[in-house]
Chain A
């Protein structure tokens, strides 16, 4: 995780386009100024960042399903549940699954675990739009390479 740049996903572990699901890993930093304030003496990942992690995981799934032709933008978060504390240094594994693909929008369900323990879950809706700027598409390609997104998976039907 690079919290300063809001890049919360480190690795794509598995992308299954047939089953419309993705599994990613996110290494929570052992130290960061966020943990100095949240909270002194009891550092834990803020729920909004766990929610954003689930949204970014879902976003990578949707980019794969959309073959990087459109960009998913976060629109609605429902049933966001923080089920347990996530401490600095934890390895977060997030699974996201497509719940529904509508016309111009998509809905996913995501779950985050540390080990076998479920830590967070949410239902997330995205608006799907053309990339607003070509540089954004270039950036997403570079990010995809960095996190090991299996680009070959989307070049074959």
Chain B
């Protein structure tokens, strides 16, 4: 089974028409890959579907705007993969999961 990072990278490559081999764990989705907010909606939909989660994009954006988090925490792809793993784990740990 491919890693969370690989799954995200494949989604980004397909959604944004970015060559897969240019997408690295250390890539910043916005600063390095040039993904804009509209493309990120599309990516978020694909990630939500693939992992059965709801990425809290609005909460993350608010945290960045309030200076409580940096964009790197959410938009460097390995960090994004870690956040997704946490969301999946939380979902699986929830009652009834």
Contacts and interface: CB of A to CB of B under 8 A. Distances in A.
Contacts of A104: 57-58, 61
A71 to B, nearest CB: 15
B84 interface: no
B1 interface: no
| Interface size classification for chain A | 10 to 19
B96 interface: no
A41 interface: no
A86 interface: no
Interface of chain B, helix or strand or loop or mixed?
helix
Contacts of B41: 75-76, 102, 105, 125, 127
B10 to A, nearest CB: 18
Interface of chain A, helix or strand or loop or mixed?
strand
Interface of A: 75-76, 100-105, 107, 125, 127
Given A76-B41, A102-B57, A105-B57, 7 more contacts: A75-B38, A76-B38, A100-B48, A102-B41, A103-B54, A125-B41, A125-B42
Interface of B: 38, 41-42, 44-45, 48-49, 54-59, 61
28 contacts: A75-B38, A75-B41, A76-B38, A76-B41, A100-B45, A100-B49, A101-B54, A102-B41, A102-B44, A102-B45, A102-B48, A102-B54, A102-B57, A103-B44, A103-B54, A103-B55, A103-B56, A103-B57, A103-B58, A103-B59, A104-B57, A104-B61, A105-B41, A105-B45, A105-B57, A107-B45, A125-B41, A125-B42
